Amino acid sequence: MLVIENIVNDNPTLQRYDWPLVKSFNQLDTKLLNFINNSREEKKRTLANLVRSTDSHGAFLNNHLGTIYSYFYGYPDSPCYLNSDVDLELYIQEAKLILEFSFIHEWLKIVEAPFFTSQKDAVSHLKHLAMKNSGILHELFNFIEREASKEAILEFLRLEVLRNEVVDDEVALIVVGLQGNMKKVMVSNLWDECGNGNLTKFHTYWLRQLINSLLDWNNFIRYRSEKQPWFSKISSNSFNSLLFRPQYKFRAYGHFLITEAWVEPHFVKILNGLERVGLTQSDIQIYFSAHTKIDPHHTKEIITAIEYQSPALTLEEIREIVIGAYQAIEANLQQYKRVLNYLKSF
Ligand SMILES: [Fe+2]
Ligand SMILES: [Fe+2]
């Protein structure tokens, strides 16, 4: 429970900026508008024609899904912000579902998850997978740690802010539809995201500090709309492709497990890279340094809740968690390899 004074008197300086830092909605991108206005069959045909080129297909899916998800979060960049338009919402929903199908099944092509014959085997597979997979030691993070130029690191930080700017909302969406231990740990995770009730400890407040001391508020808004590369949206889009779908709630949980487990190994290398190029102020590093301490515990919470969920999860439910974990790995590998090539050009 919060003490009322904690609400009345909690007004740190950087809280005065809107968050997330978005431009107000103006108009839909023409390509997306054309897609939305197409019939269902034409939509599927448009995507089928793109399948041959992984990059064109990926750019189309990821740019448009990114725009569409902003509609669901309801910040001022949403086409439906303070605007009640049922037809527009119906069109957006249809486009979203068709884009998501193509994203998950035609573009990502996640590997087939194994079937399990016992609960114990399923949980131990998941524990093992969370700690040992091809994303943990990805060379992108070695590059950041040892080689990336200061300019490349600044660009990487911009992408990190964008990737994480609404993680608290994403976590809030996982809470829905879970009960028992699994709900408990996701609420605990959300409460941590919300600084345990202190605005300066919101994880997004640490991103505010990072923008304020390094990335510049005005430039950042422009960067998002003009420069953010499509492949830096893959990770968030993959997570969001599950979060709004009732049939995928366990997949979303498994997806989150993997990305939480990666935080500590990745952020330690990012911090070493920041030190190497002289970005040593605590305002710049706090987002990363704080998470290296918090997220190993979050990972443990998430796994333990699966193991001790009551009533126990069925084999099918656990397999769904595993499928979500595989999706997280595949989606992030797709992102990391492209971001690595991109940063090498700075
Ligand atoms: Fe966080
Ligand atoms: Fe976390």
Residues with Cβ within 5 Å of ion ligand 1?
A: 203
Stretch 261-288: mean pLDDT: 98
Q: Is the pLDDT of residue 216 over 90?
A: no
CA angle, 254 as apex, 145 and 69 as ends, to 5°? 80
Residue 194 φ then ψ, to 5°: -95, 30
Q: How far is the CA of 318 from the centre of ligand 2 (A)?
A: 21
202 three-class SS = strand
pLDDT at residue 215 greater than cutoff 90: no
Taking the domains of the chain in order of start, what are their residue ranges? 11-108, 119-343
Is the confidence at residue 37, as pLDDT, over 90? yes
Q: How many residues does the chain have?
A: 346
CA 117–ligand 2 middle distance (angstroms): 31
Question: In this predicted model, what pLDDT tens digit does every residue of 221-266 receive, in sequence order?
Answer: 889 888 999 999 999 999 999 999 999 999 999 999 999 999 999 9
Q: Which ligand does the CA of 194 lie closest to?
A: 1
* CATH T-level topology, domain 119-343: Heme Oxygenase; Chain A (1.20.910)
pLDDT of residue 179: 97
Q: Distances in Å between the alpha carbon of 299 and those of 29, 100, 285, 333?
A: 38, 27, 21, 20
81 three-state secondary structure? coil
Taking residues 273-302, report their average pLDDT: 97
CA dihedral 135, 139, 144, 149 (to 10 degrees): -150
pLDDT tens, 158-179? 999 999 999 999 999 999 999 9
Cis peptide before 20 (omega within 30 of 0): yes
Crossing angle of helices 119-131 and 282-307, in 10° steps, is 170
| Mean pLDDT confidence for 303-310 | 96
